[in-house]
Amino acid sequence: MRESQAADARRYHHGDLRRALIDAASRVLEAEGPSALSLRAVAREAGVSPAAPYHHFKDKGELLEAVAHEGWDLLDAALAKAKAEASSPAQAISELGVAYVCFARNNPALYRVMYDTARDREDLPDQMKIEGDGAYCKVRDTLIEAGADPKDTLDIELATTAAWCSGHGLAEMAGFKQFAHLKEACGGEVEFFRAVFQHMGLAPRPPGD
């Protein structure tokens, strides 16, 4: 085992093996689902020895945590792109929701692992924390830019939670066959998502309404 570990260490610069294993784990997840994921399966997918993953992960749980962290970063990037391309804060609110649902639809196994690994932890993933520049903050800040009162911390946190839950709910139900006629009427699946978010009324109401 020591010889094979040394050989693997020579094949990779520091950090490259970890990156290769996370990428391999993501491929196994999407192709075969979480139940097929193991350190041995990931090693096989990455083309390294069965001992190689233990350079960076003590068990499957640690590997899943790393894959989930990667997923949150990818979701954050998708939301950042959607916000940057929106023409107004009000439109950005809907576009953030669309980007969220599309991410979940395009990466179903990764999306499930992201929430499964977060569910039993005391600390939320970095991208879900209320401080910083993560995905949660992008939604909150967009609501403020659209007119929400930043001084009303309870209201803005509830509004952000409502927006996030709306995206999560639609992501869970987006594949229902019962929505096929609505997708056709809207001109496609993405347009259906956009129309649903526009009907949710998530944008803050003007003062005095």
For the record, the structure tokens of 177 come out as: 């066959």
For the record, the structure tokens of 194 come out as: 């956009």
Matching residue, tokens 């075969």? 32
Buried b (16+ CB within 10 A) or exposed e, 26-57: bebbeeeeeeebbbebbbebbebbebbbeebb
pLDDT of the residue at 205? 58
pLDDT under 70 in the chain at which residues?
1-15, 120-124, 203, 205-209
**DSSP annotation of 204:** P
> For residue range 73-132, what is the model confidence (pLDDT) as tens digits?
999 999 999 999 999 999 999 999 999 999 999 999 899 889 888 776 666 677 777 777
pLDDT of the residue at 124? 67
pLDDT of the residue at 83? 95
pLDDT of the residue at 1? 41
Q: Which domains does the chain have, with CATH numbers?
A: 2-58 (1.10.10), 68-199 (1.10.357)
